Structure 1
Amino acid sequence: MQDWTNCTAMVVEDSAVQRDHMAGLLRQAGFGQVLVACDGIDALRKLDARGLPVELVLTDLDMPGMDGLELIRHLKELELACSLVVASAREGRLGEAAASMADGATRMQMLGTALKPLHFDVLQSLLAHADAQALSAGAMTAVPGSEEIEAALAQQQFLPYFEPRIEVAGGLLRGVDVHASWLHPERGLIRASRFLPTLQGSASIAPLAMSIAQQALAQLKAWHDIGLVTLTMSIRLPAELLADRRMIDRLCAIVHEHGVAHRSITWECPEAVLTSAAPLSIANLAHLSLRGFGIGVAGYRAGQTSQQQLARCPLTELRIDHVIVNEASQQPARAALLQQSIEAAHQMRIAVVAEGVEHGSDLALLRSYGCELAQGPLVAAPMPAQALVGWIKGNRRRLKELVAVEGGD
């Protein structure tokens, strides 16, 4: 009998009753940890934040927001799960799921499909097709090691992806948020959340950030040259780079070399830089501010950083974490935190960016609170540079209509 004690599974199911039932079956099978998600978007958000693939995902297919087939596609592309079991009340849909797994190479193993309601003996039969120890080892090896990352950096496999930010009031594109991405020659595109945790505290984190910044600044200059002159860019700087004045001076030199206006660029620091009151980093941020750059804080969560700590740094922009933003229109406690964060920023004359916006009702709430900018799945996913111009042309009308809707999705 398989030993799943050291393995983690996730149930993705929009019905609370079915979700609890399936989670109970997995615990009965011996899984050491069982995570739950109410739909595909919730699952991806939790798996992405975890930073480590789970050994098994047990998912329904018919779910609002993102159905199971779309979730399977993302799980394959992002390597967020080692194996998969699909359950549905409709036999035809199970065939679609099996076909989706057969379409294209994937490291994720399909253990099988089952009609709902799922029974324990059926689940056991499906799990018998897997090797728990091999899946556990696969989950660990799916996370790149530091040596592999350092080699990829030397081979220039890292590149910036750009996530559009729109004006909440009018739907106009105002800027892009830069994401570090790894274009792996065999595994395809790997998101930053999969490899950055491995680099924390290493000697490679600053060179990687510098490489991404240099590529992004060159692209911003190219966009300005073709007429997108009002486009701004936010670039995240790790604490290791912010603490090194030589790196800061090099960044300024790169901006000068590309001829990009300082006001078009916002350098973002991790929230931890403010909470730890790191004197060198804050002094270097002040230096950048004096040179005319925007200064932002990334992933802000109310309660972790006080207004006094925010005031220590010459901030022009506060990016509120998706944990607060998502479904705030449906969660009164979350809405209160969101409103509190926006009001605190505005009292200090700091503009607010809401990240991770997924629902039209949340966008309407942000507008009512006076939030300036928004980004997230509702707007667009991060994209390569060559896709942005086409995206702008194809989405102008949609974005204007989106911000004009009061509270809908």
Structure 2
Amino acid sequence: MADWSGCTAMVVEDSPVQRDHMAGLLRQAGFGEVLLACDGIDALRKLNARGMPVELVLTDMDMPGMDGIELIRHVCELELAASLLVASAREERLKEAQAGMTQRTALQVLLGTVLKPLHFDVLSEILDRADVGRLREATAIGLPAPEEVAAALAAGQFLPYYEPRIEIATGMLRGLDVQPCWAHPERGLIRAARFLPALQGADCIAPLTVDIAAQALRQLRAWHDIGLISLGMSIKLPTEILADRACVDQLSAQVRELGLEPRTVIWECQESVLADGAPLTIANLAHLCVRGFGLALGGYRAGHTTQQQLARCPLTELRIDPVIVHEASQHPPRQALLQQSLSVAHQMGMAAVAEGVELAADLSLLRSLGCELAQGALVAAPMPGNALAGWIRNNRRRLKELASASAR
């Protein structure tokens, strides 16, 4: 029997009874860790937060909010799991899953499809056919060691990319989301999602953040100098930075030395910062606000952070999780979560930014719900600083037309 003791699996199932049953079978099969998710949205959130792929995702096909087919697509595109096992009470749904995996990436392997309820002998037979060693190797692909990142930082291999953010009502460019990228000499451009999560708690995360921020702020100064004076940017700050007053003061000093208005810079933190409520971190956020900077909370989805926690620091912007923004116009449960999230932002006097907007129908929905700002593939992909001016020239009319269409 294959040894799964060093492996992690995730069960994605909306029925608590079925979810616990499947998790119990995986533990019986020897998995060292079994994660639980109540639907596709919850699964993507937890897998993204984990920062490295799991060896196996066992998912139901019929779930509210995001069904198994869409979850499989996201898991494959984001390389969140080394293998997949699909369960359903309906054979036709299992055939859909098989068809959807015909164009799989090198990382994903469809171990099989099974009818529910799942039985241990069926699970064991499927798992015995799997190459555990290969799956373990697959989960380590692309995960750098901290010392590799430190060497790359010293070599100047990290640079900021900029994702445009528009005002939904007008289509006007209102800001940029700064995203660190790694210009790897052999592997090409590596996006933040493939290396940042593996660095949580590492000593190199603070100098990397400061370096990216310094490059981005100099670029913002250059844009202001050519007339883009209303342009602002949002820069993500990890807990390690927010807990260090010296780092916070260093970032503030860079803005001041460049002659930038603090209101054009928004510092973004994650929900865990408010949930933990560390006094020094909250005090540093308040200090940034007093100095005139904007403060944003990233990856927000109603129900995960209470309004009491949100009130702990003077946030100016709430950034809505792309998992609930994407195709919200087509999925009522997701639309309800989106509406709740926007309601919280407006009740607390914060601007709302919808991330991950890919469909014109979703942009129209966001406008009808009163969301102010949007970013995502529909607007533009992240780009290097030298590409922004050309993008503005080539897309000004398209964005105005998008805004007009969203009002109909």
For normalisation by structure 2, the TM-score amounts to: 0.73
1 CA distance for matches of 2:231 and 2:402?
A: 20
> Displacement of 1:277 after TM fit?
1.7
- The answer (yes or no) to whether the contact 1:360–1:407 under 8 Å persists in 2 is no
Q: How does 1:17-56 map to 2 (within 5 A)?
A: 51-53=51-53
Q: Aligned partners of 2:247 and 2:240: how far apart in 1?
A: 10
Which secondary structure does the structure 1 equivalent of 2:353 belong to? strand
Distance between the aligned counterparts of 2:134 and 2:331, measured in 1? 40
Question: Which residue of the partner structure matches residue 158 of structure 2?
Answer: 158
Q: Is the 8 A contact 1:358 1:376 kept in 2?
A: yes
Looking at structure 2, the residues matched to 135 and 9 of structure 1 have their Cα atoms a distance apart, in angstroms, of 11
What code does the residue aligned with 1:200 have?
Answer: Q
State the Cα distance separating 1:262 from its structure 2 match: 1.0
In the alignment, structure 1 residue 364 sits paired with structure 2 residue 364? yes
After TM superposition, give the deviation of residue 144 of structure 1 in Å: 1.2
Give the number of equivalent residue pairs: 376
Alignment of 1:95-174 (within 5 A): 108=106, 133-174=133-174
| Cα pair 1:53 1:142 within 8 Å, conserved | no
Structure 2, unpaired ranges of 5+: 11-25, 37-42, 58-68, 85-94, 97-102, 110-128
Are residues 1:191 and 2:191 paired? Answer: yes
Alignment of 1:288-307 (within 5 A): 288-307=288-307
Quote the offset at 1:50 in angstroms: 6.0
Ranges of 4+ aligned residues in structure 1 off by more than 6 Å: 1-10, 43-47, 54-57, 79-84
Does structure 1 retain, via aligned residues, the 8 Å contact 2:177–2:234? yes
Q: Between 172-181 and 322-331, report the one with greater CA deviation.
A: 322-331
- 1:314 counterpart SS class: coil
Secondary structure at the counterpart of residue 312 of structure 1:
coil
5+ residue gaps in structure 1?
Answer: 11-26, 36-42, 58-63, 90-96, 102-107, 112-127
Alpha-carbon offset, residue 289 of structure 1: 1.1
Post-superposition shift, 1:372?
Answer: 0.7
CA–CA distance in structure 2, aligned partners of residues 402 and 45 of structure 1? 29
RMSD: 4.7
The superposition leaves residues 125-165 of structure 1 with CA deviations (integer Å, 9 ceiling, x where unpaired) of xxx9x965245324324311222122222222211111110
- Partners of 1:305 and 1:47 in 2: CA distance: 19
Identical amino acids, percent of aligned pairs: 62
How has the CA–CA distance of structure 1 residues 220 and 6 changed in structure 2, closer, same or farther, with 3 Å as cutoff? same
Which residue of structure 1 lines up, in the alignment, with residue 395 of structure 2? 395
Asked if residue 268 in structure 1 is aligned to residue 268 in structure 2, the reply is: yes
- For residues 329 and 163 of structure 1, what CA distance do their matches in structure 2 show? 23
* Cα drift, residue 237 of structure 1: 0.8
TM superposition shift of 1:287 = 1.2
Q: Read off the aligned partner of 2:271 and give its amino acid letter.
A: E
Q: How does 1:68-87 map to 2 (within 5 A)?
A: none
Aligned to 1:92: none
Q: Scaled by the length of structure 1, what TM-score is found?
A: 0.73
Q: Counterpart of 1:329 in 2: which secondary structure?
A: helix
Alpha-carbon deviations, 1:286-319, whole Å to 9, x = none? 1111111111111112112121221221111111
